[in-house]
Amino acid sequence: MPTSEQIRATIGQYVECFSTADKDGWIQLFSADARVEDPVGEDAHVGADAIAAFWDVSRTLADAITLVPTGPVRVAGVEAAFPMKAVTSIGDDKLVVDIIDVMTFDDEARITSNRAFWDPAEIRPYEG
Amino acid sequence: MPTSEQIRATIGQYVECFSTADKDGWIQLFSADARVEDPVGEDAHVGADAIAAFWDVSRTLADAITLVPTGPVRVAGVEAAFPMKAVTSIGDDKLVVDIIDVMTFDDEARITSNRAFWDPAEIRPYEG
């Protein structure tokens, strides 16, 4: 069972790699058979190849995506949830949406599941 | 399928009823067969009677418990997640812990499942 500190470290790397467009570093945070549902309610991306393809699609339109944590990580057992804003830059425009990610972890604190709670209807211009 | 507005209304009532110790109002927000896991990783309380008993136990030690939302509700499909602090008053002492609740809803926007992400080790004195 991963420790709370290991889970927090993985989440810290997740935010860092995502925001610096470090795709390889980001993919390595997941287990081989991980499941990503983003947003919750859509079909899941299962396995490293599908998750890598999902990364590529999400970057097609965006010049940059920055995750900004808006509160502490809540760890409970081998799961965790944390709140953030995602700021997407497209040319000179910036958009923002509020997200809560809910993750499960394996014994090495790799992500086995991520469920991202957000609503496309809530995307709005980012005021800075 | 409940609307985003209906889900937000239920969560608003949930926070209000919990914080004003309105047990009956709070219980009515759940479906008859609802499942509460609080914190995540512990045994679930299933059904209205078990959830009512869980309420009673949580109030045994506390004179008051106030939920303070710390960010917007994220609705995704028929589910939602939201961040808060829970402030517990015991005599002259106040304790606080950070929580994220993750809920699912039925067609009438009643809560069918609540999973509360928090860590008992993170409870600390409330500084106001």
What is the band of A61 on the pLDDT scale with cuts at 50, 70, 90?
A: confident
- Mean pLDDT over A71-93 rounds to 97
Contact A117 B76 (CB under 8 A): yes
- DSSP, collapsed to helix, strand or coil, labels residue B4 as helix
**Token pair belonging to B15:** 């926070």
The beta-carbon neighbor of A80 closest among B70, B72, B117 is B117
The beta-carbon neighbor of B74 closest among A71, A74, A117 is A117
- DSSP, collapsed to helix, strand or coil, labels residue B15 as helix
Cα angle: B15, vertex B21, B22; to 5 degrees: 80
Pick the catalytic residue: B38, B49, B92, B93?
B38
Query: What length is written for chain A?
Result: 128
Contact A102 B116 (CB under 8 A): no
Q: Tokens 């812990």 sit at which residue?
A: B97
- Mean pLDDT over B78-107 rounds to 97
Contact yes or no for B114/B103 (Cβ under 8 A)? yes
Distance between CA atoms of residues B40 and B114, nearest Å: 9
* B126 catalytically annotated: no
- Residues of A carrying an active site annotation: 14, 38
The beta-carbon neighbor of B72 closest among A81, A98, A116 is A98
What is the reported pLDDT for A62? 92
Residue-wise pLDDT for B2-35, tens only, equals: 999 999 999 999 999 999 999 999 999 999 999 9
Q: How far is CA A43 from the centre of its chain?
A: 16
**Token pair belonging to B3:** 């609307």
Contact B117 A81 (CB under 8 A): yes
Residue-wise pLDDT for A12-39, tens only, equals: 999 999 999 999 999 999 999 999 999 9
Q: How far is CA B66 from CA B22, B82, B94, B96, B128, in A?
A: 12, 15, 10, 9, 12
The pTM assigned to this predicted structure is: 0.96
What is the reported pLDDT for A93? 94
